[in-house]
Amino acid sequence: MQNAIVFDLNRCIGCLACSVACKMEHNVPIGLSYTKVLRIGPNPKYEGARFPDVEMYFMPVMCQHCADPECVTACPTEALHIAEDGTVLIDKEKCDGCRLCIDACPYDLCYYNEEENLAEKCNLCHHLVVQGKEPMCVSQCAGRALVFGDLDDPGSPASVTIAAAGKDVYGLADTGNRPRFKYILRNTKWRGDAG
């Protein structure tokens, strides 16, 4: 089992509902956000184009729950570990706040909580997933741009979405850590971070 999220960037409207839902569900401190929504563009649709011939899209970014996570390798206390469903979790009882995981994450998606002296990040709402529910960001997505499922199950919503997208499926740059989350972006030449 390899749970993951597929992001259909053509459906994302940049409403930040995923980010707000995450902050509320996990009581994320002010100044931190486990889910960032980037605005890519506006970029010209063709060489020399000017407004209104521009395009842009929004791109939610969170922990990629990599198959070979550098944060887990860097953690000296084994607080970071991979669950059976592929989710990268932090055991707060073992975390000593050394921040080595934060330095190791190639995507800058691990954070330091000063109040608790702990590393924190997206846990894919593991507490909800084990109850058979979707992660909060997925269930609250207004544009239905986020799709959750098991990548090892060809019938899961995530796998079906990837199969339907064909060649328009991308991932974040892989530095050997094998990020599992996928991004779908159709009909644009500006792929930004998703290319």
Is residue 53 one of the residues assigned to a domain?
yes
Domain count for the chain: 1
pLDDT digits (tens, 9 = 90+) for 123-178: 999 999 999 999 999 999 999 999 999 999 999 999 999 999 999 999 998 889 99
Q: Is residue 120 part of a domain?
A: yes
What's the rounded Cα separation, in Å, for the pair 52 and 146? 28
Residue 97 located in a structural domain: yes
> With 50 as the cut, is the pLDDT of residue 39 above it?
yes
pLDDT at 191 (0 to 100):
52
- pLDDT at position 188 is 64
Tell whether pTM > 0.75: yes
Is residue 10 assigned to a domain?
yes
Vertex 102: Cα angle to 96 and 106 (nearest 5) = 155
Q: What is the pLDDT of residue 108?
A: 94
Question: Is 185 within a domain?
Answer: yes
The amino acid that residue 57 corresponds to is Y
Asked whether residue 195 is domain-assigned, the answer is no
CATH number for 144: 3.30.70.20
* pLDDT tier at 195, thresholds 50, 70, 90: very low
**Is 56 within the bounds of a domain?**
yes
Confidence of residue 189 (pLDDT cuts 50, 70, 90): low
- Quickly list DSSP for the chain: --EEEEEETTT-----HHHHHHHHHHTPPTT--SSEEEEEEEEESSTT--TTSEEEEEEEE-----SS-HHHHH-TTS-EEE-TTS-EEE-TTT-----HHHHH-TTS--EEETTTTEEE---TTHHHHTTTPPPHHHHT-TT--EEEEETT-TTSHHHHHHHHHGGGEE-PPPSSS----EEE--S-S--GGG-
Q: Left if phi > 0, otherwise alpha if psi is -120 to 50, otherwise beta: which for 9?
A: alpha
Domain housing 36: 3-190
In a domain, 149, yes or no: yes
Q: How far apart are CA 5 and CA 1, in angstroms?
A: 13
* Count of C-beta atoms within a 10 Å radius of residue 132: 6
* Rounded (5°) CA angle 171-103-146: 30
